[in-house]
Amino acid sequence: MSVYIAVGEAGCQLANELRGVAVVVDALRASATMATLLHCGAREIWVVAEVDEAWRLKETMPDALLVGERQSVKVAGFDFSNSPTEILRASKLVQGRRVIFTSTTGARRLLSCRQAVAILVGTTINATAVAKVAKECAERQQRPIVLVASGVWGKGDEWATEDVAAAWEIAERMNLPVVQAPKRPKGELAKVFAESRHGKELLALGLDADVHWCAQVDVTTTVPQVMRFDGMAALVKAAD
């Protein structure tokens, strides 16, 4: 078995072509938010690509919380933004709830990996746990692992620095050969995240708490996993 790290839509395509175990890595912030939602007791997450799809799904699931952002800012009318620290502060409201989630990039990357044999969501905050689950899936299926460093939708690979760093953090815990990958960013994770293009964008919006929190390692053992696709949406729950 082998490990690949690939950026953006090309990473999704590689996961599909190889029929691999996909790990969607959107370190700032979708992977951290989804892991935090399930860590805080959310029952399930329905991931959709578009805001209007989230509203349509809400009509069929009136009890669901709406969580998401566009261009790093909470969608008007949603309950929460794509923010793990916001979710942590509201953990009692999340417990036991169904969630509908959309984001600028991470949600779309997840939905683009439909032909992968399994789809997990990982980043630094659940690095050891997601490495373990991905390796177990790969062993069962006898398939490679593709870590999809999400980047930012519609922008170049230079926007994926923190995602590549997070992907390497996961990969090094697998003890498997990494056969294809971008160069690992140098420096402490907190510095890499804060100095990345997306990190600077979030800091400029006053989202310092998210940037710092997302750079932590192994603060949860929760691993989001796609259980099935239903039309436009993917159902995500915590892996067993």
Q: What domains are there in the chain, each with its CATH number?
A: 3-235 (3.90.1560.10)
Q: Is the peptide bond before 97 cis (omega within 30 degrees of 0)?
A: no
Burial track 96-135 (b if 16+ CB lie within 10 A, e otherwise): ebebbbbbbbbbbbbbbbeebbbbbbbbbbbbbbbbbbbb
The per-residue pLDDT for 240 is: 87
The per-residue pLDDT for 159 is: 86
Q: What is the mean pLDDT of residues 127-138?
A: 98
pLDDT at 119 over 90: yes
Summarize pLDDT for 21-46 with one digit per residue, the tens. Answer: 999 999 999 999 999 999 999 999 99
Summarize pLDDT for 156-169 with one digit per residue, the tens. Answer: 888 899 999 999 99
The per-residue pLDDT for 132 is: 98
Summarize pLDDT for 69-116 with one digit per residue, the tens. Answer: 999 999 999 999 999 999 999 999 999 999 999 999 999 999 999 999
pLDDT at 1 over 90: no
The per-residue pLDDT for 196 is: 97
Q: Which residues contact 155 (CB under 8 A, 6 or more apart)?
A: none
